[in-house]
Amino acid sequence: MEKQSRVFVAGGTGLVGSAIVKNLLQKGYTDIVANYHSRKPNTTTSVEWVQLDLTDPVAVAEFFGTQKPEYVFLAAAKVGGIVANNTYRADFIYQNLQIQNNVIHQSYLNGVKKLMFLGSTCIYPKKCPQPMKEEYLLTGELEYTNEPYAIAKIAGIKMCESYNLQYGTNYIAVMPTNLYGPNDNFDLEKSHVLPALIRKIHLGKALEENDWDTIRIDLNNLPIEGISGEVSKEEVLAILAKYGIENHPSSDSNNVQIEIWGSGKPMREFLWSEDMADACVFLMEHRDFKETYLPDQTEIRNTHINIGTGQDISIKDLAYLIKEIVSFRGNFSFNTDKPDGTMKKLTDPSKLHALGWRHKVELENGIRQIYNWYKG
């Protein structure tokens, strides 16, 4: 990519997309266009923001025909945690397939020089050998709760491979591990485990300190099921209790208890979103599809690239790490009636390392940064 190249970031307001936009700006790219779905970002940057529904094939075709991007980061997706994935199964497979099909096909039709497709490590089998190597794709059954989302992402990988092999395009697919960072989703109905724990523990700390100003500000910024900070204390306590943040008066001063779904034993890997963005821009600048597989391969497959740290932590230890950073004194309860999901999901980032990139931000430092960002 040249600094003056026209670059389209699909999903520019999301966790990864916003980090990619920030990275591109920091590196001096001057012609960036990004889409938003409903609300234009409040920013003074030189990015051109376009309202665009990526699930609409007509709108996407018109966008590519008029905007003519040379490079595309496909960071847009419908995402959510274990509850959302299992509840809105049809939405997750339909919307993600629509986004991918529209953007990848229009990139081909309009002569895009290079595209990067962002997936997820949930593409790997439920009982995948650990750590997960790219070659383990499609070797076993998927985790049931996120199967529709995973199948959509696998289709995206195969679409990139197939267009490259048939049409000679230069599309790269990357599979990030669990991401966290600025612009993360802290909606307790739909968020992933790390931002959900940060918010719940933040609210738990405010509750144990009887800090109702903090609680009301938090709910006004992001209501829970429509409950804002303007309602009565009783209504606030009820919605907090529904999401596992409860006062349990006792002789113990640490009387706030936070419920965490599952046993706390599953191991998870986390990557700072701005590290992920840096990896994406590095690969787009310096690597091509032909470098993602061995030159003597008779069958070209598994060309995607894992992006991760190669380090993991249990959900229980993650909760206690956040507890320490937030200075919460209360207790945790682990609800073993709720599903754990896959017990271990650790990427093998050897391929990424061989291509010349390693992560920089370690988990404790990243959590401190994202907590400070969340508090504003």
Say if pTM beats, i.e. exceeds, 0.85: yes
Is residue 149 flagged as an active site residue?
yes
Question: In the numeric block, which tokens belong to residue 250?
Answer: 């006792």
For every residue of 176-206, DSSP letters joined together read E-EEE-TT----TTT--HHHHHHHHHHHHHH
Roughly how many angstroms between the first and final C-alpha of the chain, as a whole number? 34
Q: In 10 A of CB 91, how many CB atoms?
A: 15
Q: Where are the beta strands (DSSP E) in 119-268?
A: 171-176, 178-180, 245-247, 256-261, 267-268
Q: Which domains does the chain have, with CATH numbers?
A: 6-184+268-310+345-362 (3.40.50.720), 193-265+316-335 (no CATH)
- What is the model's pLDDT at position 251? 46
- What is the model's pLDDT at position 247? 87
* Amino acid at residue number 347: T
- What is the model's pLDDT at position 234? 95
Instruction: Walk along the chain (376 residues) in steps of 10 and give the mean pLDDT of each run.
Output: 96 93 96 89 84 97 98 91 80 96 98 97 93 97 92 98 98 96 88 93 96 97 95 96 86 78 95 97 97 92 97 97 96 92 90 97 97 94
Q: What are phi and psi of 80, to 5 degrees?
A: 180, 175
- What is the model's pLDDT at position 76? 95
Question: Which residues make Cβ contacts (< 8 Å) with residue 251, sequence separation at least 6?
Answer: none
Q: How far apart are CA 203 and CA 297, in angstroms?
A: 53
Q: Which of the residues 29, 71, 124, 149 is marked catalytic?
A: 149
Per the prediction, the chain carries an average pLDDT of 94
